[in-house]
Structure 1
């Protein structure tokens, strides 16, 4: 799975797509954050542009003190991007629900594409969106991190970052005001986290997620992200995240696969989104990656159905009826924007909000 090609496609889209201006400035100064819950603020929030809706800050985490790095990232730090509601600054003591949005690999949270996805899907919506750093994490506590030291990403995100932001921002700081979603590796992470901690989330969404660790293509993708410098440096061993990927040593892979462990999602809103890759002769790598992701979503959907758990499933094929510019392939901004534009109204029907 040539993830370098996916990164190039997304980077090109970042340069080509201009952000729509939000209706109003959220604040003159971003919030000032205070250390706590295992996190030390290394860079205070800075607005990403003059629209004053989205800011980026950085923290050091006790759970992942030495993350692998992608270009532009700083050693020992985790960038986090936050998009506020349009009226956050002027709404007094009003508290807002939060959507944690997990990026794929190779990607970083604070890209122009991710900013656009968040701002467009939440324009005039009373919802905070948080993009945390994930690098090649697969949103898991690693089994064999080796010389990197602790890589406890699940601990970082769920036990440190969530209470940290609840303490520093005007959030609705409980399950009724919290959702999680993600793209590709982040779609895996969203279901993985929701299944492990259903007490934290009311809604979960996956956008082209690789949800089935029993699928050999997904196993190859995980190993690829471990071994390829384009997924982060330094590289790590093929057994770093989930242990050896082969039977009979693959018990962690089997135990951590979201597709087979859906029962704890009962009572939670669930939404899955995927294309089929469209024309396989056009952008064949992106087409094959999306087609593989779709297979894992079909397995997950079958298991949700067997468990009697209601869910929404947008299986939009080649994308031609889903959104203009969506071609059903992996990591297409037009497809992802349509996914989020559909998902946000669903979760707002369930989340507590102003």
Structure 2
């Protein structure tokens, strides 16, 4: 036990604490001020002034069969926001993420070209955040929900556990005119592109074929483009049945996790029977993005294909991409195929696999090219 402290000693300690407070507090205040300034430079929201204005985004009005969900908007900044809408064509609420050019608000007379980005399965609209090139100051980027396994098609079966699933109608007849009605777009095919990866790659090529009046440019990255390949049909079936295994790789799911494609649906739900017996697979053939008859509809479209070949999935997408490029050549239709193999020729981050580490630099290559094409279209007489 410590001996008692004398009154004189206690008084000395009191004065010492008093002096310490007067010496330390200014140093603390200066340190806090310095830290706050440093954090402000880094952009941390915690030190933003209390009176800072909330981000302002364009006001959207319901149109083309889309109804906005009250309270369903998420505004990250005035150039990055998400709307939630409902439609009779697809059951449940669905999100649409929008990236605006940084100069959109400052130049209210200017109209902008648009690229529609179609995510893979079982991705979401937020997958676009993994592709920095889509946040372009030269165009608007729109990312509509494509479902965990929508395959960008109007399903044969509409009475599955997922309910109404007319994804193609939702996107082409509702989302596109909804965006044109609410944003300052250039509503012409020469200023509109569609691009996608994996499931969205086949969707992008199909949409460009189904509506050449809407899209003048298309990019398909690592797409299951050839529906004549048994492996591509197997990928669709695996998503319908939500099967585990190798097709866990066909997604942007976190490493080490298996993709979840949602509730089980019948194997014939999307495209009908996949078996080429007595014409049972007629819907597959009609949709097939690699079919020469469908490819012929791209005669006046800018076409770019990207693929690696360094894992099992990319081995299939490489075969499909080369088949499409070869058939386009036979039809006399110009296209650009970038087969980056093991990824060494594309970017240090890319290993040639089915991953955003390759898709992000592929988009970084494509976006300046498509925006240059938009600009060239603007300079043509009559534009």
Aligning the two structures, in what range does the TM-score lie when normalised by the shorter sequence?
Answer: 0.7 to 0.9
Is residue 2:328 matched to residue 1:328?
no
Matched, 1:133 2:162: no
Structure with the largest fraction of helix: 2
Corresponding position of 2:268: 239
Which of 307, 325, 334 is the matching residue for 1:274?
A: 307
Corresponding residue for 1:294? 318
Give the corresponding residue for 2:371.
348
- Is the Cα contact below 8 Å between 1:33 and 1:44 reproduced in 2? no
Q: Report what 1:253 is aligned to.
A: 284
Distance in structure 2 (CA, Å) of the matches to 1:235 and 1:33: 35
Q: After TM superposition, list the pairs within 5 Å mapping 1:1-354 onto structure 2.
A: 28-42=55-69, 43=71, 45-48=73-76, 51-64=77-90, 66=91, 76-111=92-127, 114-117=128-131, 119-123=132-136, 125-135=137-147, 136-147=149-160, 148-228=162-242, 230-248=259-277, 249-260=280-291, 261-277=294-310, 287-330=311-354, 332-351=355-374, 352=377
CA distance in 1, matches of 2:305, 2:340: 11
Larger relative contact order (Cα-Cα within 8 Å, sequence gap ≥ 6) = 1
Map Cα deviations across residues 94-145 of structure 1 (whole Å, 9 max, x no partner): 110000000000111124xx1241x43444x320011110121110011123
Q: Secondary structure at the match of 1:194?
A: helix
- SS of match in other structure, 1:245: coil
Aligned residues: 304
CA RMSD between the two structures? 1.9
Per the TM alignment, residue 353 of structure 1 is displaced from its structure 2 partner at its CA by 5.7
SS of residue paired to 1:80: strand
Structure 2: which 5+ residue stretches go unaligned?
A: 1-41, 44-53, 244-258
Matched residues in 1 for 2:199 and 2:356: separation? Answer: 16
CA positional deviation for 1:87 = 0.8
Q: TM-score, normalised by structure 2?
A: 0.76
> Are the counterparts in 2 of residues 30 and 46 from structure 1 also a CA contact under 8 Å?
no
Q: Name which one, 1 or 2, has greater alpha-carbon Rg.
A: 2
Structure 2 equivalent of residue 284 of structure 1:
none
Q: TM-score, normalised by structure 1?
A: 0.82
For residues 49-103 of structure 1, what are the alpha-carbon distances to aligned partners after superposition, in whole Å with 9 as ceiling and x for unaligned? Answer: xx53211111001211x1xxxxxxxxx1111111110111111121100000000
Deviates more, 1:195-204 or 1:141-150: 141-150
Q: C-alpha offsets along residues 175-228 of structure 1, whole Å, 9 cap, x if unaligned?
A: 122000100000000000100110001100001011011101100100011111
